[in-house]
Structure 1
Amino acid sequence: MMALLPYGGFCCDVADDPRDNPWKTLKTIQQNLEKCEELRPDHARWLGNAIERCHDDPNTFLRLLGIKKPKGKPSPFPLDSWLEYGQRICALEGDGETPEHAISIVLDELAKLYQVPPDRRTLQRWRDVYRSAEETGYL
């Protein structure tokens, strides 16, 4: 039996990520709404998260949807770095490491992977974003 998810749909194939082609996803949502059909849960969550997180700023909204390029220079690190390394820092803290020592351990690990590793503030931000996502149930 498939699990019923919010927005009236069933689990969808995770290989079809709405962020991969935002215009196609918006067109699909528009067609569903026009036909008074239920939205796919992943599409509804993608659009709803962007609406919730944009704080009524249209530029931020378009960036969150992936339609508009992010501000500033591109990051040399993968977009999901906050997930991987934020989780690693939190796991080390859960194992009894102090927050500063956990960050130092991950910083040393990243220094072996990247010619120019992220700075401490970036690692702290990734940890905080990961914690926030975990606390709000996004993970």
Structure 2
Amino acid sequence: MADQAQSTNFKEAFSLFDKRGTGRVDLDSLGDLLRACGQNPTLAEIGDLKGGMRGGDFDFDAFQKILNRPGGFRDPGEPEEYCRGLQVFDKDLTGFIGVGQFRYILTNLGEKMSDDEVDELLKAVDTSSGELNYMGECRYYRSEGSVSVV
């Protein structure tokens, strides 16, 4: 069960996603809202959760039940794990991989992302050289104490 501070944070996040101010959030925003609350649902989990809900939106009580579900969601992992995974594709161990290769990895391996999701992710990093400095990104996220795909 979430403590009082967490519950307050969850309510704040929920209200940010409540675009119409009705106390309800569009079902299509469920995955983003869960991630904003520090959860790490898979696309399959999000699909299952959506399938179990009626209507096109949900209220905070329904959201709390999802947050407090038995077993929770998988741990997002440590930045080092992502670095090691990307290092497999870095043949020369330079700390860089091609943007096209990175896109291929994210859209074809593991839990696949859409091209739009990858485009959104790549907006946050410098890709002007055609390569992604994944080791630099890993160092950044390790120092920030947060986790990202890169």
State the TM-score, normalized to the length of structure 2.
0.30
State the TM-score, normalized to the length of structure 1.
0.32
- Give the structure with the larger helix fraction: 1
Bigger relative contact order, structure 1 or 2 (CA pairs below 8 A, ≥6 apart): 2
